[in-house]
């Protein structure tokens, strides 16, 4: 008889776990409190237009190819996925603009034109260092259930590879390391921004995180229908292998007995028995008792001061003029240190850097024609994760919108007056993802030990596992998928151990790399 698994939450990590477990023959039920799957990868309607309201940057394509293949499916047959030739367009004012490309040599040439030949050479050395760090940590950390510093990581890297251990630079800040590569402060600002992909500050995050720049340099992909289409495709993959989905139903508590987990109780009082429970929620929700006091001892607490960033997110349907938008765009503030000082104090930013995903732009041509009429935009400004203790007045929201539009205008982009939009705040994110304060990436990646303090798949309760972007290996859609793989692997080991007749091991599996794709790449979300 198949072991019974309940997956709480249908974010990317939970969907990947459900698909893999169902494909291995386990009895899987996914319970999701929202009416749609995807978690943060959701869509909202604004002014009659469906707009992506979550992550927008898709890399590490081979992770999903492996998942679909392991479940008897095909990513390319389930979704329309195309390469983006322009990674992102960056601006500091109306005259200073820089594109980075999927082709690193084109990026190098563009940086040379923008900041000189020395900057182009510096980019080359920075890219090589980022690539080396990623390759060192890919197998030794990112794909492991959890590795504690330093001895277990040393063993995985290789006890005699002391140079590799030093090369990941855990004790130096990214901002300091960027200063060694780039004299131009604009380039330090550009590559320092990658720490915000995991909700962190470049002034506090370790230089190890320069690996994120390597990931984007290796390729960004465009999915027709956005990330919500990816979530729906994963749901379909799980369903074809027998997984059941119960949408619009919340879990009140995780039940335990003397052996570990025994099931869940829904908000309506119904009980679902299970041998294993996989929680695709921020670990803070477990620790705070959101799923009952019995489950609250499963994980440690993350103090509010250790939370990652939240965001102010405008989902807009607006006419634009001036700045030639690509799919992914960043308008930088004039004072980056001041921006992060404000965030560390829990304040809103008066002169923010702004990320814009122009969902109707192709990103396959340098200056393709823009849409006629209104276009769909997701606009993001970093914000402190204080949504559980700060409510936003309308006057405050208006000030945030004015600050955002001033930053855009300084770089040459004008939005129509009174453009139709929905503004999502840290308080809204806290309501969607309880006990987080609106933190979108779990624990902030600050300090050398941050990666080792992040919650892993295993918890203190047998049979209870965690998955998602707030758990190891970190934030971003592919990292959430990797966490789902790791959690599914742990759950299968547990399920096999409680069966009288253990399942036969299958060749290949969820951690097998694509034979078509090199062993590099990682993603993060803006």
244-247 and 27-32 strand pairing: parallel
Please state, in angstroms and rounded to a whole number, the distance separating the CA atoms of residues 523 and 212: 7
Domain boundaries, the chain: 4-36+56-80+225-303+449-498, 84-214, 309-432
Model-level pTM greater than 0.75? Answer: yes
370 φ/ψ angles, rounded to the nearest 5 degrees: -80, 170
Q: What is the pLDDT of residues 138-157, one digit of tens each?
A: 655 555 565 555 555 455 44
pLDDT at 363: 61
pLDDT in tens, 39-82: 999 999 999 999 999 999 998 898 999 999 999 999 999 999 99
Tens digit of each residue's pLDDT (9 = 90 or more) over 159-205: 445 455 455 556 689 999 999 999 999 999 999 999 999 899 999 99
Choose the CATH number for 4-36+56-80+225-303+449-498 among 3.40.50.300, 3.50.50.60, 3.40.1390.10, 3.30.1360.70.
Answer: 3.50.50.60
Burial label, 515 (beta-carbon count in 10 A; 0-12, 13-18, 19+): exposed
Give the model confidence (pLDDT) of 24-49 as tens digits: 999 999 999 999 999 999 999 999 99
Cβ atoms < 10 Å from Cβ of 145: 16
pLDDT, one tens digit per residue, over 363-421 is 665 666 678 899 999 999 999 999 999 888 999 999 999 999 999 999 999 999 999 99
Name the pLDDT band for 514 (thresholds 50, 70, 90). Answer: very low
| Beta sheet of 260-266, edge-to-edge order | 251-257, 260-266, 271-273
Q: What is the 3-state secondary structure (H, E, C) of 85-140?
A: CEEEEEECCCCCEEEEECCHHHHHHHHHHHHCHHHHHHHHHHHHHHHHHHHHHHHH
pLDDT at 144: 58
Please give the Cα distance from 377 to 11 (Å, whole number): 22
Under the banding of pLDDT at 50, 70 and 90, the label for residue 131 is confident
> Mean of the per-residue pLDDT values for the chain?
87
461 in Cβ contact with 292 (< 8 Å): no
């Amino acid at each position: 008889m198949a072991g019974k698994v309940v997956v709480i939450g249908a974010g990317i990590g939970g969907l990947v776990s459900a698909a893999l477990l169902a494909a291995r023959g386990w009895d899987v039920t996914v319970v999701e409190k929202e009416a749609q799957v995807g978690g943060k990868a959701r869509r909202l309607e604004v002014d009659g237009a469906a707009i992506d309201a979550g992550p927008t940057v898709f890399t590490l394509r081979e992770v999903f190819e492996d998942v679909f293949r392991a479940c008897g499916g095909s990513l390319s047959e389930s979704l329309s996925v195309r390469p983006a030739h322009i990674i992102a367009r960056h601006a500091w004012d109306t005259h200073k603009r820089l594109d980075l490309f999927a082709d690193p040599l084109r990026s190098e040439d563009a940086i040379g034109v923008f900041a000189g030949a020395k900057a182009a050479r510096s980019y080359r050395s920075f890219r090589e260092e980022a690539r080396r760090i990623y390759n060192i940590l890919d197998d030794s950390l990112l794909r492991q259930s959890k590795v504690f510093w330093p001895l277990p990581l040393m063993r995985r890297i290789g006890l005699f590879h002391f140079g590799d251990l030093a090369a990941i630079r855990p004790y130096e800040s990214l901002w300091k390391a960027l200063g060694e590569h780039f004299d131009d402060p604009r380039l330090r600002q550009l590559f320092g921004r990658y720490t915000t992909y995991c909700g962190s500050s470049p002034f506090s995050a370790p230089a190890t995180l320069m690996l994120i720049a390597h990931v984007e340099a290796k390729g960004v992909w465009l999915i027709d229908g956005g990330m919500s289409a990816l979530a729906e495709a994963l749901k379909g993959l799980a369903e074809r292998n027998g997984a059941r989905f119960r949408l619009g139903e919340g879990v009140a508590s995780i039940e335990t007995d003397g052996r570990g987990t025994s099931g869940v109780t829904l908000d309506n009082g119904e009980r679902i028995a299970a041998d294993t429970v996989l929680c695709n929620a921020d670990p803070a929700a477990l620790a705070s008792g959101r799923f009952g006091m019995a489950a609250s001892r499963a994980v440690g607490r993350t103090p509010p001061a250790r939370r990652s960033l939240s965001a102010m997110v405008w989902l807009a349907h607006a006419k634009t003029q001036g700045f030639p938008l690509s799919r992914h765009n960043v308008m930088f503030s004039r004072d980056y240190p001041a921006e992060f000082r404000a965030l560390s104090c829990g304040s809103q930013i008066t002169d923010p850097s702004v990320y814009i995903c122009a969902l109707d732009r192709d990103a396959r041509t340098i200056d393709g024609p823009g849409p006629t009429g209104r276009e769909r935009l997701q606009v993001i400004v970093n914000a402190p994760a204080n949504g559980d203790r700060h409510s936003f007045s309308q006057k405050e929201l208006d000030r945030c919108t004015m600050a955002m539009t001033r930053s855009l205008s300084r770089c040459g982009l004008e939005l129509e007056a009174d453009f139709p939009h929905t503004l999502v705040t840290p308080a809204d994110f806290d309501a969607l993802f309880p006990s987080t304060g609106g933190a979108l990436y779990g624990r902030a990646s600050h300090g050398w030990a941050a990666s080792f303090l992040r919650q892993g798949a295993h918890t203190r309760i047998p049979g209870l596992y965690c998955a998602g972007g707030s758990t190891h290996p970190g934030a971003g859609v592919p990292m959430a998928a990797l966490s789902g793989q790791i959690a599914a692997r742990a759950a299968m080991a547990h399920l096999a151990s409680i069966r009288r007749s253990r399942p036969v091991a299958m060749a290949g599996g969820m951690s097998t790399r694509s034979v078509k794709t090199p062993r590099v790449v990682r993603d993060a979300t803006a």
